[in-house]
Amino acid sequence: MNYGISVLFRFIPLLMALICFFFGGYIFGFGNDEARWVAGPVVFSLGVLCIALFATAATIIRQLIHTYNPVAKYLLPGMGYLFALGTMLWGIYLFSSPEPQNLFVPGHVICGVSLIAACISTAATSSTKFTLIPVNSHGTSDKINPNGFSTTTERVLIGLTVLFATVAWVWAIVLLSGSGGDHLVAGSVMAGLACICTSLIGLVASISRQIRNDYGEKDRKYWPRLVFFMGTICIVGGIIELLAAPVPVNTTGFILIGLGLVCFSISSKILLLAKVWRQECKLANRIPLIPVMTALFALFLGAFLFEEASVDNAFFVPSRVLIGLGGICFSLFSIVSILESGTSGK
Protein backbone atom coordinates (compact mmCIF):
# COMPACT_ATOMS: atom_id res chain seq x y z
CA MET A 1 0.00 0.00 0.00
CA ASN A 2 1.44 3.36 -1.03
CA TYR A 3 0.96 6.57 0.89
CA GLY A 4 -1.58 8.07 -1.52
CA ILE A 5 -3.90 5.06 -1.30
CA SER A 6 -3.53 5.02 2.47
CA VAL A 7 -4.71 8.64 2.65
CA LEU A 8 -7.72 7.80 0.45
CA PHE A 9 -8.78 4.85 2.60
CA ARG A 10 -8.53 6.95 5.75
CA PHE A 11 -10.38 9.84 4.13
CA ILE A 12 -13.41 7.74 3.12
CA PRO A 13 -14.75 7.06 6.66
CA LEU A 14 -14.03 10.66 7.67
CA LEU A 15 -15.97 11.92 4.64
CA MET A 16 -18.88 9.60 5.47
CA ALA A 17 -18.79 10.88 9.06
CA LEU A 18 -19.02 14.49 7.88
CA ILE A 19 -21.91 13.63 5.58
CA CYS A 20 -23.80 11.95 8.44
CA PHE A 21 -23.10 14.84 10.82
CA PHE A 22 -24.14 17.58 8.40
CA PHE A 23 -27.06 15.65 6.90
CA GLY A 24 -28.40 14.74 10.35
CA GLY A 25 -28.03 18.32 11.54
CA TYR A 26 -29.76 19.59 8.41
CA ILE A 27 -32.71 17.23 8.90
CA PHE A 28 -33.05 18.20 12.56
CA GLY A 29 -32.63 21.94 12.07
CA PHE A 30 -35.04 22.60 9.19
CA GLY A 31 -38.43 21.73 10.63
CA ASN A 32 -40.32 21.03 13.83
CA ASP A 33 -42.29 17.89 12.98
CA GLU A 34 -41.75 14.70 14.97
CA ALA A 35 -40.23 12.78 12.05
CA ARG A 36 -37.33 15.23 11.88
CA TRP A 37 -36.77 14.90 15.63
CA VAL A 38 -36.31 11.16 15.06
CA ALA A 39 -34.37 11.05 11.79
CA GLY A 40 -32.03 13.97 12.47
CA PRO A 41 -30.38 12.72 15.70
CA VAL A 42 -30.24 9.12 14.45
CA VAL A 43 -28.49 10.03 11.18
CA PHE A 44 -26.15 12.34 13.09
CA SER A 45 -25.21 9.51 15.48
CA LEU A 46 -24.30 7.24 12.56
CA GLY A 47 -21.36 9.54 11.95
CA VAL A 48 -19.89 8.26 15.22
CA LEU A 49 -19.68 4.78 13.66
CA CYS A 50 -17.70 6.27 10.78
CA ILE A 51 -15.32 7.88 13.29
CA ALA A 52 -14.82 4.50 14.97
CA LEU A 53 -14.21 2.93 11.54
CA PHE A 54 -11.66 5.64 10.82
CA ALA A 55 -9.85 4.68 14.04
CA THR A 56 -9.75 1.07 12.86
CA ALA A 57 -8.58 2.03 9.37
CA ALA A 58 -5.86 4.33 10.69
CA THR A 59 -4.67 1.69 13.17
CA ILE A 60 -4.11 -0.84 10.39
CA ILE A 61 -2.83 1.55 7.73
CA ARG A 62 -0.20 3.16 9.95
CA GLN A 63 1.25 -0.29 10.57
CA LEU A 64 1.30 -1.07 6.84
CA ILE A 65 3.08 2.18 5.90
CA HIS A 66 5.40 2.03 8.95
CA THR A 67 4.21 5.21 10.67
CA TYR A 68 2.68 3.50 13.71
CA ASN A 69 3.82 4.71 17.13
CA PRO A 70 2.79 4.26 20.80
CA VAL A 71 0.73 7.47 20.73
CA ALA A 72 -1.40 6.22 17.81
CA LYS A 73 -1.67 2.80 19.45
CA TYR A 74 -3.62 4.24 22.37
CA LEU A 75 -5.05 7.42 20.84
CA LEU A 76 -6.96 5.89 17.93
CA PRO A 77 -8.92 3.16 19.82
CA GLY A 78 -9.32 5.57 22.75
CA MET A 79 -10.91 8.11 20.44
CA GLY A 80 -13.43 5.51 19.32
CA TYR A 81 -14.34 4.56 22.88
CA LEU A 82 -14.63 8.25 23.83
CA PHE A 83 -17.07 8.94 21.01
CA ALA A 84 -19.02 5.80 21.95
CA LEU A 85 -19.30 6.96 25.56
CA GLY A 86 -20.40 10.45 24.53
CA THR A 87 -23.02 9.00 22.23
CA MET A 88 -24.38 6.76 24.98
CA LEU A 89 -24.71 9.72 27.35
CA TRP A 90 -26.42 11.74 24.62
CA GLY A 91 -28.90 8.95 23.94
CA ILE A 92 -29.73 8.55 27.64
CA TYR A 93 -30.28 12.31 27.87
CA LEU A 94 -32.67 12.23 24.92
CA PHE A 95 -34.95 9.41 26.04
CA SER A 96 -34.92 10.79 29.60
CA SER A 97 -36.11 14.20 28.43
CA PRO A 98 -39.61 15.46 29.31
CA GLU A 99 -40.88 14.94 25.73
CA PRO A 100 -40.79 11.17 25.18
CA GLN A 101 -43.21 11.34 22.26
CA ASN A 102 -40.46 13.04 20.26
CA LEU A 103 -37.25 11.71 21.78
CA PHE A 104 -38.01 8.23 23.16
CA VAL A 105 -37.22 6.41 19.91
CA PRO A 106 -34.10 8.37 18.83
CA GLY A 107 -32.72 8.26 22.36
CA HIS A 108 -32.81 4.48 22.57
CA VAL A 109 -31.59 4.02 19.00
CA ILE A 110 -28.64 6.33 19.63
CA CYS A 111 -27.72 4.26 22.69
CA GLY A 112 -27.70 1.20 20.44
CA VAL A 113 -25.45 3.01 17.97
CA SER A 114 -23.04 3.76 20.83
CA LEU A 115 -22.80 0.02 21.59
CA ILE A 116 -21.84 -0.65 17.97
CA ALA A 117 -19.25 2.14 18.15
CA ALA A 118 -17.79 0.45 21.25
CA CYS A 119 -17.60 -2.87 19.35
CA ILE A 120 -15.85 -1.20 16.40
CA SER A 121 -13.42 0.48 18.81
CA THR A 122 -12.67 -2.96 20.24
CA ALA A 123 -11.94 -4.11 16.68
CA ALA A 124 -9.50 -1.19 16.42
CA THR A 125 -7.89 -2.30 19.69
CA SER A 126 -7.58 -5.88 18.44
CA SER A 127 -5.89 -4.55 15.28
CA THR A 128 -2.96 -2.95 17.16
CA LYS A 129 -0.78 -5.94 16.15
CA PHE A 130 -2.28 -6.41 12.72
CA THR A 131 1.05 -7.00 10.96
CA LEU A 132 1.35 -10.35 12.75
CA ILE A 133 -1.59 -11.70 10.74
CA PRO A 134 0.27 -12.05 7.40
CA VAL A 135 3.33 -13.34 9.30
CA ASN A 136 1.30 -16.09 10.95
CA SER A 137 -0.74 -16.78 7.83
CA HIS A 138 2.30 -17.28 5.61
CA GLY A 139 4.08 -19.38 8.21
CA THR A 140 3.76 -23.10 8.78
CA SER A 141 3.93 -23.28 12.57
CA ASP A 142 0.80 -23.83 14.63
CA LYS A 143 2.48 -22.62 17.80
CA ILE A 144 1.20 -19.55 19.59
CA ASN A 145 3.05 -16.44 18.45
CA PRO A 146 4.78 -15.02 21.55
CA ASN A 147 4.57 -11.53 20.04
CA GLY A 148 0.79 -11.76 19.76
CA PHE A 149 -1.87 -11.28 22.39
CA SER A 150 -1.85 -13.26 25.61
CA THR A 151 -4.72 -15.62 26.36
CA THR A 152 -6.16 -13.10 28.80
CA THR A 153 -6.00 -10.21 26.33
CA GLU A 154 -7.67 -12.25 23.61
CA ARG A 155 -10.48 -13.27 25.94
CA VAL A 156 -10.97 -9.70 27.15
CA LEU A 157 -11.22 -8.36 23.60
CA ILE A 158 -13.75 -10.98 22.55
CA GLY A 159 -15.52 -10.70 25.90
CA LEU A 160 -16.01 -6.95 25.48
CA THR A 161 -17.85 -7.38 22.20
CA VAL A 162 -19.92 -10.20 23.71
CA LEU A 163 -20.80 -7.87 26.60
CA PHE A 164 -21.83 -5.01 24.30
CA ALA A 165 -23.90 -7.36 22.13
CA THR A 166 -25.59 -8.88 25.18
CA VAL A 167 -26.51 -5.43 26.49
CA ALA A 168 -28.01 -4.58 23.09
CA TRP A 169 -30.07 -7.79 22.96
CA VAL A 170 -31.37 -7.35 26.52
CA TRP A 171 -32.19 -3.71 25.76
CA ALA A 172 -34.11 -4.77 22.65
CA ILE A 173 -36.09 -7.42 24.53
CA VAL A 174 -37.03 -4.95 27.27
CA LEU A 175 -38.24 -2.43 24.68
CA LEU A 176 -40.21 -5.02 22.72
CA SER A 177 -41.91 -6.17 25.91
CA GLY A 178 -43.36 -2.69 26.36
CA SER A 179 -46.65 -1.51 24.95
CA GLY A 180 -47.20 1.07 22.26
CA GLY A 181 -45.83 1.86 18.81
CA ASP A 182 -42.77 3.70 20.14
CA HIS A 183 -41.62 0.61 22.04
CA LEU A 184 -42.10 -1.58 18.96
CA VAL A 185 -40.15 0.81 16.73
CA ALA A 186 -37.31 1.35 19.20
CA GLY A 187 -37.16 -2.34 20.11
CA SER A 188 -37.11 -3.49 16.48
CA VAL A 189 -34.28 -1.14 15.57
CA MET A 190 -32.38 -2.04 18.74
CA ALA A 191 -32.64 -5.74 17.78
CA GLY A 192 -31.13 -4.88 14.39
CA LEU A 193 -28.33 -2.96 16.09
CA ALA A 194 -27.77 -5.98 18.36
CA CYS A 195 -27.33 -8.11 15.23
CA ILE A 196 -24.55 -5.78 14.11
CA CYS A 197 -22.89 -5.98 17.54
CA THR A 198 -23.08 -9.78 17.34
CA SER A 199 -21.52 -9.69 13.87
CA LEU A 200 -18.63 -7.64 15.22
CA ILE A 201 -17.88 -10.43 17.71
CA GLY A 202 -16.84 -12.50 14.72
CA LEU A 203 -14.60 -9.72 13.40
CA VAL A 204 -12.81 -9.15 16.72
CA ALA A 205 -12.44 -12.89 17.29
CA SER A 206 -11.02 -13.45 13.80
CA ILE A 207 -8.49 -10.63 14.10
CA SER A 208 -7.33 -11.41 17.64
CA ARG A 209 -7.10 -15.16 17.05
CA GLN A 210 -5.13 -14.75 13.82
CA ILE A 211 -2.75 -12.38 15.59
CA ARG A 212 -2.23 -14.94 18.35
CA ASN A 213 -2.02 -17.76 15.76
CA ASP A 214 -4.73 -19.92 17.31
CA TYR A 215 -7.19 -19.40 14.45
CA GLY A 216 -8.50 -22.77 13.28
CA GLU A 217 -10.87 -24.42 10.84
CA LYS A 218 -13.83 -23.93 13.17
CA ASP A 219 -13.14 -20.16 13.16
CA ARG A 220 -12.89 -20.16 9.37
CA LYS A 221 -16.21 -21.98 9.14
CA TYR A 222 -18.43 -20.54 11.84
CA TRP A 223 -17.61 -16.81 12.14
CA PRO A 224 -18.68 -15.97 8.54
CA ARG A 225 -21.81 -18.08 9.03
CA LEU A 226 -22.66 -16.17 12.21
CA VAL A 227 -22.54 -12.83 10.42
CA PHE A 228 -24.55 -14.05 7.43
CA PHE A 229 -27.13 -15.39 9.88
CA MET A 230 -27.37 -12.03 11.66
CA GLY A 231 -27.79 -10.20 8.36
CA THR A 232 -30.48 -12.64 7.29
CA ILE A 233 -32.34 -12.17 10.59
CA CYS A 234 -32.41 -8.39 10.02
CA ILE A 235 -33.63 -8.58 6.44
CA VAL A 236 -36.23 -11.30 7.07
CA GLY A 237 -37.37 -9.48 10.22
CA GLY A 238 -37.65 -6.26 8.25
CA ILE A 239 -39.78 -7.90 5.56
CA ILE A 240 -42.04 -9.47 8.21
CA GLU A 241 -42.44 -6.11 9.93
CA LEU A 242 -43.33 -4.46 6.62
CA LEU A 243 -46.07 -7.02 6.03
CA ALA A 244 -47.38 -7.61 9.54
CA ALA A 245 -46.84 -4.50 11.68
CA PRO A 246 -49.51 -1.79 11.84
CA VAL A 247 -49.20 1.36 9.75
CA PRO A 248 -47.08 3.54 10.07
CA VAL A 249 -44.89 1.41 12.37
CA ASN A 250 -44.32 -1.11 9.56
CA THR A 251 -42.02 1.29 7.67
CA THR A 252 -39.41 0.53 10.35
CA GLY A 253 -38.90 -2.68 8.40
CA PHE A 254 -36.90 -0.73 5.82
CA ILE A 255 -34.47 0.33 8.55
CA LEU A 256 -34.07 -3.32 9.59
CA ILE A 257 -33.28 -4.20 5.98
CA GLY A 258 -30.63 -1.46 5.97
CA LEU A 259 -29.12 -2.83 9.19
CA GLY A 260 -29.01 -6.25 7.56
CA LEU A 261 -27.02 -4.73 4.69
CA VAL A 262 -24.52 -3.41 7.26
CA CYS A 263 -24.18 -6.95 8.65
CA PHE A 264 -23.44 -8.27 5.16
CA SER A 265 -20.85 -5.51 4.73
CA ILE A 266 -19.17 -6.66 7.96
CA SER A 267 -19.24 -10.23 6.65
CA SER A 268 -16.90 -9.20 3.83
CA LYS A 269 -14.06 -8.57 6.29
CA ILE A 270 -14.58 -11.80 8.21
CA LEU A 271 -14.92 -13.72 4.95
CA LEU A 272 -11.71 -12.18 3.62
CA LEU A 273 -9.76 -13.09 6.76
CA ALA A 274 -11.09 -16.65 6.51
CA LYS A 275 -10.36 -17.07 2.81
CA VAL A 276 -6.75 -15.84 2.85
CA TRP A 277 -5.67 -17.59 6.08
CA ARG A 278 -2.93 -20.03 5.06
CA GLN A 279 -4.35 -20.50 1.59
CA GLU A 280 -4.58 -18.68 -1.71
CA CYS A 281 -7.87 -17.12 -2.75
CA LYS A 282 -7.92 -15.88 -6.32
CA LEU A 283 -11.10 -13.90 -5.71
CA ALA A 284 -9.87 -12.17 -2.53
CA ASN A 285 -9.56 -8.84 -4.31
CA ARG A 286 -13.23 -9.11 -5.33
CA ILE A 287 -14.53 -9.40 -1.76
CA PRO A 288 -14.38 -5.59 -1.23
CA LEU A 289 -17.18 -5.35 -3.81
CA ILE A 290 -19.62 -6.72 -1.19
CA PRO A 291 -19.81 -3.48 0.85
CA VAL A 292 -19.91 -1.47 -2.37
CA MET A 293 -22.99 -3.39 -3.49
CA THR A 294 -24.68 -3.11 -0.09
CA ALA A 295 -23.96 0.63 0.00
CA LEU A 296 -25.49 1.10 -3.45
CA PHE A 297 -28.53 -0.98 -2.50
CA ALA A 298 -29.07 1.09 0.67
CA LEU A 299 -28.69 4.37 -1.22
CA PHE A 300 -31.02 3.35 -4.05
CA LEU A 301 -33.61 2.05 -1.59
CA GLY A 302 -33.32 5.31 0.32
CA ALA A 303 -33.85 7.24 -2.91
CA PHE A 304 -37.07 5.35 -3.66
CA LEU A 305 -38.30 5.95 -0.12
CA PHE A 306 -37.46 9.67 -0.47
CA GLU A 307 -39.93 9.78 -3.35
CA GLU A 308 -42.54 7.86 -1.36
CA ALA A 309 -42.06 10.21 1.60
CA SER A 310 -43.26 13.09 -0.56
CA VAL A 311 -46.77 11.58 -0.45
CA ASP A 312 -46.64 9.63 2.84
CA ASN A 313 -44.71 11.05 5.81
CA ALA A 314 -44.39 7.56 7.33
CA PHE A 315 -41.47 6.98 4.94
CA PHE A 316 -39.62 10.13 6.03
CA VAL A 317 -37.50 8.52 8.76
CA PRO A 318 -36.45 5.28 6.98
CA SER A 319 -35.56 7.15 3.79
CA ARG A 320 -33.13 9.40 5.69
CA VAL A 321 -31.70 6.67 7.90
CA LEU A 322 -30.96 4.45 4.88
CA ILE A 323 -28.75 7.20 3.45
CA GLY A 324 -26.69 7.14 6.65
CA LEU A 325 -26.53 3.34 6.59
CA GLY A 326 -25.30 3.51 3.01
CA GLY A 327 -22.47 5.72 4.23
CA ILE A 328 -21.62 3.13 6.89
CA CYS A 329 -21.47 0.39 4.25
CA PHE A 330 -19.17 2.49 2.07
CA SER A 331 -16.91 3.15 5.07
CA LEU A 332 -16.72 -0.62 5.56
CA PHE A 333 -15.53 -0.89 1.94
CA SER A 334 -12.50 1.12 3.03
CA ILE A 335 -11.78 -1.29 5.90
CA VAL A 336 -12.09 -4.48 3.86
CA SER A 337 -9.88 -3.00 1.13
CA ILE A 338 -7.25 -2.26 3.77
CA LEU A 339 -7.50 -5.83 5.08
CA GLU A 340 -7.14 -7.18 1.54
CA SER A 341 -4.03 -5.08 0.99
CA GLY A 342 -2.51 -6.06 4.32
CA THR A 343 -3.15 -9.78 4.01
CA SER A 344 -2.47 -10.14 0.29
CA GLY A 345 0.27 -12.54 -0.65
CA LYS A 346 1.16 -10.47 -3.69
Is pLDDT of 275 > 90? no
pLDDT in tens, 137-185: 887 778 888 898 999 999 999 999 999 999 999 999 999 998 778 899 9
How many whole angstroms separate alpha carbon 82 and alpha carbon 27?
25
pLDDT at 56 over 90: yes
List phi, psi (to 5°) of 258.
-65, -40
The dihedral over CA atoms of 218, 220, 222, 225, expressed in degrees to the nearest 10, equals -160
Q: What confidence score (pLDDT) does residue 99 get?
A: 64
Nearest residue to 208 (alpha-carbon basis) of 116, 266, 129 = 129
Checking phi first, is residue 180 left (phi over 0); if not, alpha (psi -120 to 50) or beta?
left
Nearest to 130 by CA among 216, 52, 203, 218: 203
DSSP state of 34: H
Residue 100 has pLDDT above 60, yes or no: no
Within the chain, where are the H helices? 3-29, 34-64, 70-95, 100-126, 132-138, 151-176, 181-212, 217-244, 252-276, 289-309, 316-343
Please check whether residue 275 is in contact with residue 336, taking contact to mean a CB–CB distance below 8 angstroms.
Answer: no
Q: pLDDT (tens digit, 9 = 90+) per residue, 186-238? A: 999 999 999 999 999 999 999 999 999 888 889 899 999 999 999 999 999 99
